[in-house]
Amino acid sequence: MTVETPERAGINVPDREGLYASMFRMRRFEERAYELFLQNHIHGTMHLGLGQEAVAAGVAAALRPDDYSLGTYRGHNHIIARGAPLDRVMAELFGRATGLCKGKGGSMHLTSVDHGAYGSYAIVGAHLPIACGIAWSSKVRGTDQVTVCFFGDGATNIGAFHEALNLAVVWRLPVVFVCENNLYMEFTPIGSVTAVVHPAGDRAPAYSLPSVVVDGNDVEAVYGATAPAVAAARAGEGPALLEMLTYRYSGHSRTDPGAYRPAGELDQWKERDPIAAFRRRLTETRADMDRLERMEADVEREVAEAVESSLNAPQPDPDDLLTDVFASNETRWRT
Amino acid sequence: MAHLTFREAIAAGIAQEMERDETVMLLGEDVAAGGGVFKATQGLLDRFGPGRVWDTPISEQAIVGAAMGGAMTGLRPVAEIMFSDFLATCWDGIANQIAKMRYMTGGQVSLPLVIRCANGGGVHFGAQHSQSAENWPMAIPGLKVVAPSTPADAKGLLAASIRDDDPVVFFEHKWLYGSEGEVPEGDHITPLGQAQVLRSGGDVTLLGLGWTALLAMQAAERLAEEQQMQAEVIDLRCLVPLDACTVLESVERTGRLVTVEENPRPLGWGAEVVSIVMEEGFDWLDAPARRVTTPSVPLPAAPLLEDLARPSVDDIIETALSLIS
């Protein structure tokens, strides 16, 4: 395993307190969202990314605001990392009219085009080819925008993954594939159903796709690996793949207690909690802790306001049921 | 007017839109250097270059994914899926992603793209290269479905589909590629969602789509000659948007309806049209609305068996006559 650290890659991580605050913002949002789910304010399902925050935060920090990203159904972190306002994300989980998608998407389909976040996809692996298409668009339109595609380890065993990797290399697309390897494909250890040790990283060489396996719980390492991949893609040098090793604290979805995991495994990973570990490192390296604490207080306030506003947000307009099917809302499927 | 084959008219429709709008891109298997396996994209690479016309690997999921991503971010991709049977290999991209994205995002994105495919039987290719799949996307909210019957419509409807801001699945009947006809030169657009009355008549309405519209015309001519029965023939042109008004207006006059489709019987598009007529035009009917379809069977390769399975002029005539007693 190659573990990239920012020091080794020669990357200067900008705004370390900001990187911390980005992770803290995801963590507090999801903790509150989960409580609200248990209190029956949020319906449907919910796939939490608790424990995986360093990946989304470190990757997003390496992007420009006009870059594109695609996330998964475990995608709260992905969209929050791009800067989507928490009140609109929370309202979407509540199914309210003020949600990012007017309540029509829900937890698994968070999208904020204004923040470059082009969808959260709930069919495993389906979005890797779509990421290729967005990168293709940048290429033919002659912009230098880069597309990042987050996906889970489970996606690496689906055909779309392989079709997308091949096309990205053949067309030399400005796309960076980011695998969040949290060790479990739903309820099954990924290693027990995959022919290689690193489900994404070990497949990439078959497509001549540069890849690196990264400690996905170290936000600086994530940033350090992502920044050069994004820079290369932006410079027209083609795609890359990053496999981030991380761990999800919760089960696969809301109804899964995660009982299939060996005793002690969760505790071991919590000792390497990406947020607590980075906070310790910031303390040791004499970061601006006053600023960091102010940022934490700001996050707490933003989350509280997001909850409050969502509880009071209007329900969708019943007339909106049939809108947004086609481009013109005058267009019906028949005359 | 230019005298063109159907396949030339397809290329002409694409070329017209590529000329007009530099964001129109063509992609698919063999579409560039090969000119398409049905030669419907011949000459486009030479004319527009490799920056506009893209050969892909045999990767249908990658093709529709690329089209979708491109469409969301400023392109108007025209993707070819060689045979409509292969839509099943990328159905997730079409049915779950492309069709639903605008709705799921609350209207944040548009998907101006076209997926073209060769459709239908009659060429004895066997069950995996002969299906009529136009009823598949009809069942998925968010997709438009178009199927031309003439070279003029091939150009006009394809150009309109490319110009449309919604995803269109465009079915080109492979039996029609060699057919010829007059095609308007210059900017030619046939609006989506407007059925065409091919022949007027007061005794029965025959409703077809693509190749079956031409089949219905042949049946109508024989009905007139042999039975003194005047059939009105309507070419639906599109399943979505569906021009139900034109069908209902015709049935109000004729009192009889026969739908002619190549779909296997259960849930072919004729079933939807008939259900609309039953709900909204029942009082006008002098006889039950009836459907001519293929039976619920995979299409066989043997010419004799395939011909037996597909709708024929005789089937239409027999069905039309059964409505008069």
Residue A177 bridge partners (DSSP): A149, A241
User: Where on the phi/psi map is residue A106: left (φ > 0), alpha (ψ -120 to 50), or beta?
Assistant: left
Give the closest-approach CA distance of B258 to chain A in angstroms.
Answer: 19
Out of B69, B165, B242, closest to residue A132 by CB: B69
pLDDT at A251: 87
Give the closest-approach CA distance of A328 to chain B in angstroms.
Answer: 8
CA angle at B38 for the pair B34 and B39, rounded to the nearest 5°: 50
Give the closest-approach CA distance of B125 to chain A in angstroms.
Answer: 26
Chain A, nearest residue to B102 by Cα: A324
Model pLDDT for residues A212-266, shown as the tens digit of each residue? 999 999 999 999 999 999 999 999 999 999 999 999 999 888 788 888 999 999 9
Residues with pLDDT less than 50, chain B: none
pLDDT at A6: 57
Q: Which residues on A lie below 8 Å from B93 (Cβ)?
A: 126, 129-130
Judge whether A83 and A35 are in contact, CB under 8 Å.
no
Task: Please identify every residue of B annotated as catalytic.
Answer: 129
Selected for mutation to probe chain B from A107, A134, A144 (highest B CB count within 10 Å) is A134
Residues A303-314, mean pLDDT to the nearest whole number: 98
Taking one residue from A and the other from B, the number of pairs with CB-CB distance under 8 angstroms is: 170
Judge whether B94 and B81 are in contact, CB under 8 Å.
no
Q: Is the pLDDT confidence value at A206 over 70?
A: yes
Q: Which residues on A lie below 8 Å from B242 (Cβ)?
A: 333-335
Please state the separation of Cα A1 from the chain's center in Å: 23
Out of B69, B110, B241, closest to residue A335 by CB: B241
Q: Which residues on A lie below 8 Å from B74 (Cβ)?
A: 137, 141
CB-based contact B244 A128, cutoff 8 Å:
no
Give the Cβ contact number of residue A282 at 10 Å. 17
Q: Per-residue confidence at A10, pLDDT binned at 50, 70, 90?
A: low
Residue A56 vs residues A76, A79, A237, A333, B123: alpha-carbon distances, Å: 10, 9, 23, 39, 52
Angle at which helix B244-254 crosses helix B269-280, to 10 degrees, equals 60
pLDDT at A330: 60
Residue extents of the structural domains in chain B = 2-183, 196-322
Domain A6-309: which CATH class?
alpha beta
Selected for mutation to probe chain A from B26, B54, B108, B111 (highest A CB count within 10 Å) is B108
CB-based contact A167 B66, cutoff 8 Å:
yes
pLDDT at B11: 98
Model pLDDT for residues A45-86, shown as the tens digit of each residue? 999 999 999 999 999 999 999 999 999 999 999 999 999 999
pLDDT at A4: 57
Q: Per-residue confidence at A12, pLDDT binned at 50, 70, 90?
A: confident
Q: Which residues on A lie below 8 Å from B108 (Cβ)?
A: 101, 111-113
For residues B48 and A43, what is the distance between their CA atoms, to the nearest angstrom? 51
Of A80, A48, A110, A21, give the one whose Cα is nearest residue A248. Answer: A48
CB-based contact B97 A137, cutoff 8 Å:
no
pLDDT at A3: 56
pLDDT at A76: 97
Q: Per-residue confidence at A112, pLDDT binned at 50, 70, 90?
A: very high
pLDDT at B264: 97
For residues A135 and A130, what is the distance between their CA atoms, to the nearest angstrom? 9
pLDDT at A8: 53
Can you give the length of chain A in residues? 335
Judge whether A128 and A165 are in contact, CB under 8 Å.
yes
Q: Per-residue confidence at A276, pLDDT binned at 50, 70, 90?
A: very high
Q: Is the pLDDT confidence value at A333 over 70?
A: yes
Please state the separation of Cα B230 from the chain's center in Å: 26
Residue A118's φ and ψ, nearest 5 degrees, are -95, 60
Looking at residue A55, its amino acid is V
CB-based contact A334 B276, cutoff 8 Å:
yes
Which runs of consecutive H residues, i.e. helices, occur in chain B? 6-20, 44-48, 60-72, 91, 99-104, 135-138, 151-163, 211-227, 244-254, 269-280, 303-309, 313-322
DSSP B274-304: HHHHHHHSGGG-SS--EEEEE-SSPPPSSHH
Fold observed for domain B196-322: Rossmann fold (3.40.50)
Domain B2-183 coded CATH 1.10.10.10: no
Chain A, nearest residue to B74 by Cα: A137
What ipTM was assigned to the predicted interfaces of this complex? 0.97
Q: Which residues on B lie below 8 Å from A119 (Cβ)?
A: 101, 104-105, 109
Q: Which residues on A lie below 8 Å from B165 (Cβ)?
A: 327-328
Selected for mutation to probe chain A from B54, B72, B272, B279 (highest A CB count within 10 Å) is B72
For residues A105 and B104, what is the distance between their CA atoms, to the nearest angstrom? 4
Of B246, B245, B241, B271, give the one whose Cα is nearest residue B259. Answer: B271
